[in-house]
Amino acid sequence: MRDTVPQFFLTIKHYTREQFIKDFISGIIVAIIALPLSIALALASGVTPEQGLYTAIVAGFVISFLGGSKVQIAGPTAAFASIVAGIVLKNGLDGLAAATIMAGIILVIMGFLRLGSLIRFIPYTITTGFTTGIAVTIFIGQIKDFLGLTFLKAPVETMEKLEQVIRCIGTFNPMALATGMTALAVLIIWPRYFKKVPPSLIAVILTAVLVKALELPVHTIGDLYPISPSLPAFHIPELSFAVMQKAMPDAVTIAVLAAIESLLSCVVADGMVGGRHNSNMELIAQGVGNTCSALFGGIPATGAIARTAANIKNGGRTPVAGMVHAVLLLLILIFLMPYAALIPMPSIAAILFMVAYNMSEWREFVSIVKTSPKSDWSVLLVTFILTVVFDLVAAIGVGLVFASLLFMKRMADVADVNGWRYLEDGKEENDGDRIDLKPVPGHVAVFEINGPMFFGAADKISKVVLEEGKRVLILRMRSVPAMDATALKSLKKLYHSLKRKNVILVLSHVNEQPMTMMERAGFVDAVGRENIAGCIDEALMRASGL
């Protein structure tokens, strides 16, 4: 049962006043960081600014309260931006809400099925590839606002956006670029001298004052989007069978991405605090948090690595910090939201440029390309290109298939079947370490199988070719940890071929998984239990009497 107990209830038993003060201060700082980011990511996702705050408030509070990590901060993240924008354009806000609710249900089911540990089966090359790809899509998506361009149409796909940038470069607005560059300079220079106050907050305040005071011809959030300080309203979208069927692919995408990003964030946080998260409870919390976010007008949420790291660095050590961050954002929404209308769009673009740079993992990308084998960096490049050119679903799907095929090829290359070199006429040899030179009766042949026997390596059993006069074949299987149905079928084929030639098959040192599979298939009884030996010496003794 401890596997499904939120960390909040485990930590609150020993909670102290001193820790509350640290959590409270950290929650305030994280809220200040989350404010401009939530607005920027909402705009990048094709929704209104307040919907980004709804997400950070509702999902942020619920996931901290129910989560499997003590320090995880949840909210809207860059990874979802292009996906959400596509869903909104295709199915509208109700379609997004339906997909997010379904994704939440999928995440809860994943948590109760104890699937949290499956994150380790996603190769690092794939996570790096799609993370860098998402960073590139975010960067390309913000060029329009950073340069103040006027597009001929409103594209969703990354390549279409890049095409519009090239075609509409003549509409470039110098004042927009100057505003964006000012914000970018603040974002880069400010952290070098001032650690406590978030640079994104300074950037939006400074550029908003400049644009307003100088009356610069630069679009602000208020020029393009209605600003509402109202509280998130409860709304249940239509969830008919037709709607659910249409939304299912998007729901799976959201669920998979939320699971991957949140659990990766938890792993990073564990390394920073020396703790250990509960991956299954975290998935359940992510599911409930996303469902609640959708019901209150928000967008998909997941663990945010940058905000989680800021929480840890500022002393947050319990879920209370994340809950404080959500409550403070709620107060900001009520009392300060109208001022968000003054934020220039180039400043939002500059913030997202920095988000894209920080999440790009370009150093890891280059390192993998330089130092890893061809099979690894090819998976990386395929995932990266598909993320940028097509979408994340195709990238992860094809990347996993490609990585799996390459892994199977490696395992197939490792697996082998070799015939023993053995002494003639029972002559002894001085090299006692050469077990392949043990005395073997003249009518016996010994072959050793090495490595896992699965469909990619099953054909190697055909390497077993007997010389004339051999009446017994020993297959030594001590180095076979696992076997699948295809390999068993090849083994049966070998057995029947030997039986037609009146050659007896003796199996030596069969490990647990292959033995269980053989017994269930009736192969042990077919071969004869007396012909299953525990070790090679027993097998040779058995063969010598046949």
Report the pLDDT value the prediction gives residue 424, as an integer from 0 to 100: 47
Report the pLDDT value the prediction gives residue 425, as an integer from 0 to 100: 43
Report the pLDDT value the prediction gives residue 427, as an integer from 0 to 100: 45
Return the SS3 of 519. Answer: helix
> Is 179 part of any domain?
no
- Same domain assignment for residues 395 and 462: no
Please count the residues of the chain. Answer: 546
- Same domain assignment for residues 285 and 381: yes
- Same domain assignment for residues 399 and 447: no
- Same domain assignment for residues 525 and 383: no
- Same domain assignment for residues 52 and 118: yes
C-alpha to C-alpha distance for 2 and 278, rounded to whole angstroms? 9
Specify the pTM. Answer: 0.76
- Same domain assignment for residues 421 and 533: yes
C-alpha to C-alpha distance for 315 and 20, rounded to whole angstroms? 10
Q: Would you give the distance in Å from CA 232 to the centre of its chain?
A: 30
> Is 230 part of any domain?
no
Q: Where are the alpha helices (DSSP H) in 158-278?
A: 158-167, 174-193, 199-214, 221-224, 241-273
The CATH number covering residue 526 comes to 3.30.750.24
Of 385, 405, 425, at which residue does a domain stop? Answer: 405
C-alpha to C-alpha distance for 183 and 189, rounded to whole angstroms? 10
- Same domain assignment for residues 160 and 307: yes
- Same domain assignment for residues 254 and 306: yes
> Is 75 part of any domain?
yes
Report the pLDDT value the prediction gives residue 426, as an integer from 0 to 100: 43
C-alpha to C-alpha distance for 243 and 6, rounded to whole angstroms? 32
> Is 158 part of any domain?
yes
Report the pLDDT value the prediction gives residue 98, as an integer from 0 to 100: 96
> Is 209 part of any domain?
no
Residue 538 lies in domain: 416-544
> Is 420 part of any domain?
yes
C-alpha to C-alpha distance for 220 and 327, rounded to whole angstroms? 27
Report the pLDDT value the prediction gives residue 78, as an integer from 0 to 100: 83
- Same domain assignment for residues 436 and 373: no
- Same domain assignment for residues 35 and 117: yes
Token output for 435: 């077990």
> Is 185 part of any domain?
no
> Is 495 part of any domain?
yes
- Same domain assignment for residues 376 and 468: no
Domains in the chain: how many in total?
2
Strands 302-303 and 416-419: unpaired
Regions in the chain scoring below 70 on pLDDT:
1-3, 120, 421-438
- Same domain assignment for residues 399 and 427: no
